[in-house]
Amino acid sequence: MNSIRKMRDTGEVKRADGVQVRYESLHIEPGFNLRQDGAELEESIEALALHIIGGGKFPPLEVRPRDEGGMWIVDGHRRHAAIGRALERGAPLRSQKDGEAWIHVVLFEGNEEDRIARIITSANNKPLAPAEIAEGYKRLRAFNWTPAQIAKKVGKSVQHVQDLLALGDAPSPVRAMVKAGQVSATRAAKAVRKHGEKSSAVLGEQWQEAQAKGKSKITAATTDQPKASASDARADSKRLDFLIEEGAIVVCGGKVDLASPEPGQTGYWLKWPRDDIQQPGVFETPRQAIDTAIKQKLTK
């Protein structure tokens, strides 16, 4: 088992104004980091590298001993990448005494679940994207943690955790839309819970509607239907009562009769199947057909 004492003996670690580790002794644990590659991450690493090259300070990396030697990074993957980039460009980070780049670190204490929670809640780094947090929550769920336990550990609401777990389980096109900023994580999670595997198609249609309205994101204003008013609800109830009492149904199609505005026009009209009676004319909507029948006191 590797330890700080062993690493001090081999010269990988030294204590000056805190624990310092050679840059080359810092390692990325495969599959541990939640961050996803992309233009936004690349831009943030580049900006941090330029900050370091210009003499800017950065917080210590959080690490734990690696059995094979060196340290695993628990928190600070973005900083580690920026430091490496700064070194490649000749930033004066290496000691004049031994030529090593000594990086300030703090030791992490905790188990596997604690490490996952740590990278989710870290305040020193660039905030994780919703999809990245969702992956972290899924890892904690794999330890049989409930949404309530996860919420308590990361200091968030249970609803927040449930939403992001739904996002983490969503089809890849849905997660891609969230990453692209086309829909919020909360709205995407709601669509997944309601439509399941069909959520990709539903959100795709909503995205097209939003674009047609000149919007850059799916919102309630661009997709949700307005709630019916009390008067509208009463009118619909009256229409339904009429159909039930009359035994009529609404038919959609095309027909030609003397009351039709145009030959072969497609639309809606009423039909009384038991008496083989049809409403004259064709109407644009079912409501118009029913309202006309009620106004004209058309019955079987």
Query: How far, in Å, CA of 136 to CA of 119, rounded?
Result: 8
Q: Tell me what pLDDT residue 258 has.
A: 61
Count of all residues that appear for the chain in the document: 300
Q: Tell me what pLDDT residue 6 has.
A: 67
- What tens digit of pLDDT does each residue of 153-212 get? 888 888 889 989 998 888 889 988 988 889 988 888 888 888 888 888 889 988 988 888
Residue 120 in tokens:
């989710």
pTM, two decimals, is 0.53
In the chain the first and final C-alpha atoms are separated, in Å, by 90
Torsion of CA 92, 98, 104, 108, to 10 degrees: 140
Say which CATH class 131-223 falls into: mainly alpha
Torsion of CA 117, 26, 107, 38, to 10 degrees: -30
CATH number for the region 4-111+118-126 comes to 3.90.1530.30
In one-letter notation, the amino acid at residue 217 is K
- Locate CATH 1.10.10 in the chain: 131-223
- Locate CATH 3.90.1530.30 in the chain: 4-111+118-126
Residues 6+ apart with CB under 8 A from 152: none
Contact status, residue 117 vs residue 139, Cβ threshold 8 Å:
no
Q: Tell me what pLDDT residue 38 has.
A: 82
Q: Which portions of the chain are predicted below pLDDT 50?
A: none
Q: Tell me what pLDDT residue 44 has.
A: 86
- What tens digit of pLDDT does each residue of 82-95 get? 999 999 999 989 98
Cα 255–chain centre separation: 48
Q: Tell me what pLDDT residue 264 has.
A: 55
Q: Tell me what pLDDT residue 83 has.
A: 95
Q: Tell me what pLDDT residue 252 has.
A: 82
